[in-house]
């Protein structure tokens, strides 16, 4: 696992925000809401809150600078993945007729942006005080040169080995996100997934520490 860093309250105007770093990967998440549904056409079920998510990469986040059109397919797919993962943990039935926006901005990409975004979004949602079932954390693992590896960086990821991204609800021990590319034998897959889940749990512990620290700070401020 690479060095983790979490910071709460980085965007002053947002209801909740957080910065999350996994090694050289650095993302910012901001949460706006719960608020009134802005576009009534998007409301499917008036008994539950509408969760929306947008993932964006900064122009300078990758090694080679290239201009990509906004809303390319990769961003749309990751937005969808994050939205589904976060929706699973938010108690949407408590906030009928409202909308929650999650925006994630990648400042630096060095592999595992998906995981970092989910972890940042969890912190930001907690900062916004949105009721959640559990903390969602995510981590990726791979398999290179017949060794399972935790938390791949960009170079390891581009080596072409399999890459398993797992998201879990830490306390309930439920998997909410599972993605893999390339092929992997069944018994090795189990090992790699075990490793990824262990990574998720370690991140969950770290996120709890950050939240506790933040709550203590808030308590001090209130006196």
Residues at the interface with other proteins (CB under 8 A): 10-14, 17, 24, 28-30, 32, 38, 54, 56, 58-63, 65, 67, 70-71, 101, 103-105, 107-108
Nearest distance in Å: CB 80, other proteins: 14
Cα angle 200, 144, 164 (rounded to 5 degrees) comes to 35
3-class secondary-structure state, position 124: helix
- Of the pair 120, 170, the CB lying nearest other proteins is at 120
Q: Which two tokens stand for residue 61?
A: 């986040």
Nearest distance in Å: CB 194, other proteins: 33
94-111 burial by CB neighbour count: b if 16+ within 10 A, else e? ebeebbbbbbbbbebbbb
- Of the pair 42, 205, the CB lying nearest other proteins is at 42
Nearest distance in Å: CB 53, other proteins: 10
- Of the pair 63, 223, the CB lying nearest other proteins is at 63
- Of the pair 59, 219, the CB lying nearest other proteins is at 59
Q: To which H or E segment does residue 130 belong?
A: none
Please return the burial class of 66, using the count of CB atoms within 10 Å of its CB with bins 0-12, 13-18 and 19+: exposed
Nearest distance in Å: CB 98, other proteins: 13
- Of the pair 40, 65, the CB lying nearest other proteins is at 65
Nearest distance in Å: CB 190, other proteins: 36
119-157 burial by CB neighbour count: b if 16+ within 10 A, else e? bbbbbbbbbbebebebbbbbbbbbbeeeebbbbbbbebb
Distance separating alpha carbons of residues 34 and 50, to the nearest angstrom: 9
């Amino acid at each position: 696992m690479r060095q983790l860093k979490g910071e709460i309250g980085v965007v002053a105007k947002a209801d909740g925000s957080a910065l999350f770093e996994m090694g050289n990967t650095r993302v910012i998440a901001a949460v706006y809401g719960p608020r009134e549904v802005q576009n009534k056409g998007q409301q499917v079920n008036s008994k539950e809150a509408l969760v929306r998510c947008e993932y964006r990469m900064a122009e300078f986040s990758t090694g080679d600078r290239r201009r990509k059109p906004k809303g390319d397919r990769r961003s749309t797919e990751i937005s969808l993945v994050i939205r589904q993962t976060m929706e699973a943990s938010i108690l949407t039935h408590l906030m009928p007729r409202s909308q929650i926006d999650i925006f994630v901005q990648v400042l630096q990409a060095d592999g595992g942006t998906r995981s970092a975004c989910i972890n940042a979004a969890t912190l930001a949602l907690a900062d916004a005080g949105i009721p959640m079932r559990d903390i969602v954390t995510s981590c990726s693992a791979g398999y290179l040169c017949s060794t399972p590896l935790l938390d791949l960086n960009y170079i390891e990821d581009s080596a072409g080995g399999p890459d398993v991204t797992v998201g879990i609800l830490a306390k309930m021990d439920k998997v909410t996100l599972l993605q893999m590319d390339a092929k992997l034998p069944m018994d090795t897959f189990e090992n790699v997934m075990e490793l990824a889940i262990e990574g998720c749990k370690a991140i969950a512990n770290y996120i709890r520490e950050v939240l506790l620290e933040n709550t203590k700070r808030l308590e001090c401020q209130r006196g």
